[in-house]
Structure 1
Amino acid sequence: MNTRQSAEKEINDFLNSDESVILITGTHQYQKHILVLEAISEVKCPSILLFRANSMKNFGTILEDHTTTYKTGYGYKFGPHRVYVDSIKSTSWTKTPYAVDFSIVYPIDSVCKNNGKEKIIQDIVRRTNNKVFLISWTDNYDCSWLDEFIDRKVIYDVEEEDPEYHARMLKSLKKF
Structure 2
Amino acid sequence: MIDPPFANDWAYCAWGALENLRERRDAMPARVAAGTLAQDEADHSIAVARAIVLQWRWALDPALLPFPAAHDDPAPFGAPDTDMAEQLRRLAHWRRTNADAAPADREAREAALLAEALAWHQDLRDGDLPRIVHFGLIARRSPAQRFVPDPAQDAGIYRALGLSLDRPANGARAAA
| Larger Rg belongs to | 2
Structure with the larger helix share: 2
Structure-1-length-normalised TM-score? 0.29
Structure with the larger strand share: 1
Structure-2-length-normalised TM-score? 0.29
